[in-house]
Structure 1
């Protein structure tokens, strides 16, 4: 934030924290000429992590908005210029009067200067008619005609200069545009025969131009803000992480029964399936801590974490975000349900604080809400693993040797092959699957 002059202040895009280097202008809350006060919100911006309302530290009149909505701006670049407040109408009128007293009025008519005598005009004899070579009303010098608010019209070579009332009425009755006629009389006079000729041989009506065909080119949508951040992270994940995916079909009938029983025990309080799956993932990571990790590629080290900071994918109007439940291993299933619901609502309204979008150690993605059965999810860099859950649907299933219909879902685990081998990943996925089918297994960790 720097000042241009003693009366103008330039407010630059401030540092929004979390190492963010740019933001996209979403919506200006003020316009040029508006009066603002200190700490008034003047613009909403979107960073790679959240939407932020930015207040201005100056008071006065908005003189300039340095960029338009929809464009990206780097931290430290000019955002808005604020000047002194505009004078009242009375003050402005008094100031104009003083200026005119000093410099002379500038309200003049075209053709009449200020402070100069008009150029001498040549005297000419009046006649009853216009003769060849005498200046007519259309060809007289501009200074001799009545002043008009604008430049004098140009005269085409064949434009009619003199027209009798009879010829004018004849042309009007037949819908003839006299300005389009070629005059045959002396000094460009339009005669009756000119109008009769136009009536006998009317000009062809102009044909309407063919409608332009829309361009076949693609619509270009710039990668900015949240979408750019997601694209960069996914690209980096694919570039740096040698991932592998393993999956299994599970009978989720027991999990749905446990959900209903838990909600009944809580007096009807909603406990979503995502909370139960989160509790299962936390228990699985306690048994297989190799997956609660990341890789430091520069130092060629595996970072294995003691705390479980569980990220979960949430779809919003601004795109896919991954809020993080801090210390998920310390929360009960009901507490997990409350925190998941709270963070989901903040994500949908664009109110998530930046620290809730970073620092995850493992991610849970319930893409079944989109009506799909399975996927090969991309790991949320720099984490080492991600569990994906497909939709739960009725399918034929064998139980105790008998064919029956059960609630079946598919689980997919993508993992970084640098932190563990397929045996560890398979062991984690099998534990999760067993807990989904028989939730009572979780009692062993209580």
Structure 2
């Protein structure tokens, strides 16, 4: 039998959006030895903006995965190597023994991966994943070598970089263990362990370890059904279904440490927020001004709009967004950014309105493109759509960048006021507190009104207090008397 030569094609981590310099590997969708097609999703990464599913521009066989899950890669660093051509054993006669067992393990590693976001690619639908099975089901020296590779990978920790050999279907097999190894055949969920090993069961998959931890399952007490004594997802699911929780060994005694800190890495969205806010505080000489306003008229306008067309919902955020857009038209100095290197102010014609949204992954700022071109009803629909995408983690990267002004409704957290930090590199941000009943003087008489506080932070480099005060007063007047907006229609 002859061995076809594979032409290696290296795919590096692409530029995933404006200002993004690195991404963290969350989950590989393929493994070494898999067959991929052009534009097939191969990995899910988390950038400073969002989770992104990355497609590969080549077709062929996966030869190398250049980083493990949990590893941070910079843009342009090697991500995956794909070989074109027919690899040895593709005809089912020349594959190495033990590759079926390794392939089953790879399948387990992929289990539980959910689609989060497709924000990069050529626009084609992801091609269905195809798997080429090679080799006989009997495990020999290669299976033992794969076991050794699993052990070394687990010991290396999440930051280790694994670069398998180009001709390996699972792991490097330059070393092998002498003597026969047990047969690693398929096993059912209720069956006994498929591989007998002289050491405690292992659970390499992060998914399996997390499932066991969440359900209080002791992995060392389970009978592994995976190759080389690996506990698979089905083993944990079986234990959960049976309602059995094997007794865990007593936790080792830990000496108390005085003032011992818990270290939590800054990653993903949390890291992006930290970097952006730190840069904002470092670069921008910001100032904040605020005013209490009677929002009774705004609430009445909201009810009138919804009553005019039953079934149409126009939220307060949409009305505030419309007011901000009108204010930026009057005070265009605030719809800008500062180029610190060239010492220039960049004033934008378009209003790309960002709004703060709290999600399970942290604070994100979706951007409504060309907000100045939208009606109030269209703004409401777009805000609702982007909010839902943010909550499900499905926002594409281009909807998280390029904002020129930000609106932050922190009143939903039950707070009255704040001194909001400007969303760098923008020049201003409007914050809105909760709306509560307060005594208010109306036409010389005391009355109970719906009152809120507006906080406005601005970059003192782009304008002075007169412009900032004028903008805030305009917004306040529109909140108190929404008919004021008719002057700009």
Paired with 1:19 and 1:240, the residues of 2 have a C-alpha distance of 17
Native 8 Å contact 2:351 2:370 kept in 1: yes
CA offset digits 1:230-250 (Å, max 9, x no partner)? 222211211111111011111
**1:415 CA displacement:** 0.8
Native 8 Å contact 1:50 1:226 kept in 2: yes
Paired with 1:29 and 1:359, the residues of 2 have a C-alpha distance of 30
1:93-112 counterparts in 2 under 5 A? none
Match of 1:233 among 237, 260, 276: 276
Which deviates further from its counterpart, 43-52 or 366-375? Answer: 43-52
SS in 1 for 2:55: strand
- 1:326 to 2:369 alignment: yes
Q: 1:58 to 1:295 in 2, by over 3 A?
A: closer
Structure 1: segments with no counterpart, 5+ residues: 97-105, 110-149, 151-207
Residue 408 of structure 1 is matched in structure 2 by 451
SS in 2 for 1:315: strand
Match of 2:295 among 252, 263, 268: 252
Paired with 1:280 and 1:405, the residues of 2 have a C-alpha distance of 24
SS in 2 for 1:223: coil
Match of 1:395 among 417, 430, 438: 438
Residue 76 of structure 1 is matched in structure 2 by 76
1:397-436 counterparts in 2 under 5 A? 397-436=440-479
Structure 2: segments with no counterpart, 5+ residues: 98-134, 137-176, 181-197, 199-249
Match of 1:264 among 307, 321, 325: 307
**1:280 CA displacement:** 0.8
1:8-87 counterparts in 2 under 5 A? 9-32=9-32, 34-58=34-58, 62-82=62-82, 84=87
SS in 2 for 1:16: coil
Native 8 Å contact 1:253 1:406 kept in 2: yes
Mark the structure with the bigger radius of gyration.
1
Q: 1:26 to 1:259 in 2, by over 3 A?
A: same
Native 8 Å contact 2:351 2:405 kept in 1: yes
SS in 2 for 1:271: coil
Native 8 Å contact 1:292 1:385 kept in 2: yes
Paired with 2:334 and 2:423, the residues of 1 have a C-alpha distance of 13
Let me know the Cα RMSD of the aligned residues.
3.2
- 1:347 to 2:403 alignment: no
Native 8 Å contact 1:23 1:72 kept in 2: yes
CA offset digits 1:6-59 (Å, max 9, x no partner)? 365544323334353321112222344555444432210122223221223455
Paired with 1:85 and 1:38, the residues of 2 have a C-alpha distance of 22
Match of 2:406 among 363, 366, 382: 363
Structure 2 length-normalised TM: 0.62
Native 8 Å contact 2:428 2:457 kept in 1: yes
Q: 1:265 to 1:24 in 2, by over 3 A?
A: same
Paired with 1:253 and 1:362, the residues of 2 have a C-alpha distance of 25
Q: 1:62 to 1:308 in 2, by over 3 A?
A: closer
Paired with 1:233 and 1:289, the residues of 2 have a C-alpha distance of 24
**1:64 CA displacement:** 4.2
**1:108 CA displacement:** 7.0
